[in-house]
Amino acid sequence: MVVAAPRLYPHQWSWDAAFIAIGLARISVPRAITEMRTLLHAQWDTGMIPHIVFTDVPGYFPGPDVWGTDDAEAKPTGVQTSGICQPPIQAIAAARILQAGRRAGGRDEEDAEAFAIEVVPKLAAWHRWLSSARDPDGRGLVEIHHGWESGMDNSPRWDDAYAAITVNKSVELRRHDTALVKDASERPTDTEYQRYLHLVAQMRSVQYRDTEIPPIIDFRVGDVFMTAILAVAAQELAQMGADVGLSGQVADQLALATKAQAGVLSSISPTTGLCRDFDARSDSWTSAESMASFSALLCGGDSLVCARQQEIITGPRWAGHPDLAYALPPTVSPRAEGFQPRTYWRGPNWPVMNWLFAWALRRRGEFALADLWRSEGLTQLGDLAFSEYYQPFTAEPLGSRNQSWTAAVALDWVAEQA
C-alpha cells in the first residue's frame, strides 16, 4: 500500500487510496490492484469502507487508541481502522484498473479481470450501505456524521453544523500535524479538533452501530458532494459488473445512482442554481458556497442546471477570477466572505479536486473545460512539490509535500495527455 503522505499521513486513507490506484494503474496494474486490495481487506461487514486503514507507524493523531474500533462488531479482525468513511471513489478506480489491464493485455489483463470479479460484490455492498444506512430519512442524500467523512474536513460547508456543537469535556489533543506543517494557519484549529474528537467519542460510545448513531450524534448532514460521487460510482460499477459477466451482482446499482442523482438535483437552490448540503439536525439547507456547490457537474442529470453551474464555476467568482495563478477552481470562492487562501479546505486549490472535476466533465462530454483544467493543473504541478494544496493566487505549495494522491493525479494526466 501507499501511505497518503510520507510524514503527515503515514497510513492508508480510503479516497486517497482510490485516487492513488488510478495513478498507479498508468504505470503498474499489479500495484494498483494491491492498493485497492489492501483497502478492501479492511471493509466492514456492513459494507462500509473505513476512512483510515492504519499501519503500525506512529505519529498520527487521532490513532487507533482514540478510535477504539476493536469493540465494533462490524470491523474485521486483524486490521486497525477508523470508524467513519469517505467519498466512494473506489468503483471509479476499479473501473480504471480494468480498463488499464485490458489496454495492456497479457498478464495485466488476466489480473485485472480477476480483480474486477473479486471486487464487484464488495463495491456493490459499499454503495448499498451508503444508500441505505446513510440515508435514514430517505432524503436521497448520503448522510455524514463527521466533517472528515466528506474529505473536506474544515470546509465552510460544516461551519453551522459545528457551531451548534458544545464540547462539554475537552479532550487532550496530541496533534502532530501542526508540528509537521510549520504554518499552523494551513491546518484546522484546536477548537475544530475538539469538535472532531467529540464526534468520534459519541460514535465510539455506541460501538459505531449504524442504527444507534443518528439519535445520539451532534452532526448529521446530507452531503451533496458525496452523493454526487456515489451517483457516478454506482454507474461505473453497473457498467463494470456487466463487463465482467456479473450483472446480477450489480442489478440495483443504476437505481441507486438515479436516487443519488435525484438527491443532488433536489438540493439546487432556486436562487443561485447551486447545490446545497442538508443539515438534518436543524432541518435546513446550508448556504455555504464551496466547490461542492458544483456537485451537479460531477453526476449530471439536468443539462440546464449543469450549464448554469459551469458558467458560474468558470466565471470571475471562481476559476475565472483575474488574480488566480492558474484558471482552476479554488475550494472556496475568492469573493466569498471568509475565504482563506492558505487554510486547508477554506480557499486553497486542491489538485485532486481538479482531477475529479476534469474527469467528470470529460465523462459528460465537456472536453474543452476538462482539457483546460488538465493543462492548467499539470502546469501547476510542474513545481514538482506534489503538494497537498496550493495558494490559489501565488501557487505557493501548502500542507504536505509529496502527497501521494497529488502525484497520482499527475501520473494519470501525463499519460492521458500523451
Burial track 237-251 (b if 16+ CB lie within 10 A, e otherwise): bbebbebbebeebbe
DSSP codes joined into one string, 196-219: HHHHHHHHHHTTT-GGGHHHH-S-
Piece of the chain touching ligand 9WN by CB under 6 A; list 9-17, 88-96, 108-116, 256-264: 9-17
- Residue 84 CB, shortest distance to ligand 9WN, in Å, is 9
Is 160 among the residues that bind ligand 9WN (CB under 6 A)?
no
Are 269 and 276 spatial neighbours (Cβ–Cβ below 8 Å)?
yes
- Residue 9 CB, shortest distance to ligand 9WN, in Å, is 4
Give the helix ranges, DSSP H, for 334-403: 351-363, 367-381
Binds ligand 9WN (CB under 6 A): choice among 1, 16, 48, 53: 16
CA 353 – CA 257 distance, rounded (Å): 21
The footprint of ligand 9WN on residues 49-78 (CB under 6 A) is 51
Amino acid identity at 211 = T
CA 415 – CA 27 distance, rounded (Å): 9
Non-local (6+) Cβ contacts of 46 within 8 A are: 74, 129, 133, 210
Burial track 286-300 (b if 16+ CB lie within 10 A, e otherwise): bebbbbbbbbbbbbb
Binds ligand 9WN (CB under 6 A): choice among 9, 44, 126, 318: 9
Is 222 among the residues that bind ligand 9WN (CB under 6 A)?
no
Are 403 and 388 spatial neighbours (Cβ–Cβ below 8 Å)?
yes
SS3 146: coil
SS3 288: coil
Q: Which residues does the annotation mark as catalytic?
A: 153, 388
SS3 161: helix
What is the total residue count of the chain? Answer: 418
Q: Which is nearer to ligand 9WN, 153 or 371 (CB)?
A: 153
Binds ligand 9WN (CB under 6 A): choice among 15, 54, 219, 278: 15
- Binding-site size for ligand 9WN (CB under 6 A) equals 9
* CA 327 vs CA 316, 323, 324, 344, 405: distances in Å: 10, 9, 6, 19, 21
Binds ligand 9WN (CB under 6 A): choice among 2, 4, 40, 116: 4
- Residue 177 CB, shortest distance to ligand 9WN, in Å, is 6
Piece of the chain touching ligand 9WN by CB under 6 A; list 8-16, 101-109, 121-129, 281-289: 8-16
Binds ligand 9WN (CB under 6 A): choice among 109, 113, 153, 396: 153
* Binding characters for ligand 9WN, 111-150, by CB under 6 A (x = yes): -------------------------------------x--
Are 266 and 228 spatial neighbours (Cβ–Cβ below 8 Å)?
no
Are 156 and 164 spatial neighbours (Cβ–Cβ below 8 Å)?
no
Tell me which residue has cell 489496454: 103
Q: Which is nearer to ligand 9WN, 375 or 402 (CB)?
A: 402
Binds ligand 9WN (CB under 6 A): choice among 140, 151, 156, 300: 151
Q: Which is nearer to ligand 9WN, 293 or 400 (CB)?
A: 400
Q: Which is nearer to ligand 9WN, 82 or 293 (CB)?
A: 82
- Residue 8 CB, shortest distance to ligand 9WN, in Å, is 7
Tell me which residue has cell 482531477: 355
Is 13 among the residues that bind ligand 9WN (CB under 6 A)?
yes
- Residue 402 CB, shortest distance to ligand 9WN, in Å, is 12
Are 408 and 23 spatial neighbours (Cβ–Cβ below 8 Å)?
yes
* CA 26 vs CA 29, 103, 225, 411: distances in Å: 7, 10, 26, 7
Q: Which is nearer to ligand 9WN, 54 or 115 (CB)?
A: 54
Piece of the chain touching ligand 9WN by CB under 6 A; list 10-18, 122-130, 248-256, 309-317: 10-18
- Residue 160 CB, shortest distance to ligand 9WN, in Å, is 19
Piece of the chain touching ligand 9WN by CB under 6 A; list 11-19, 165-173, 251-259, 261-269: 11-19
- Residue 174 CB, shortest distance to ligand 9WN, in Å, is 13
Burial class (CB in 10 A: 0-12, 13-18, 19+), 224: buried
Point out which residues bind ligand 9WN (CB under 6 A): 4, 9, 13, 15-16, 51, 148, 151, 153
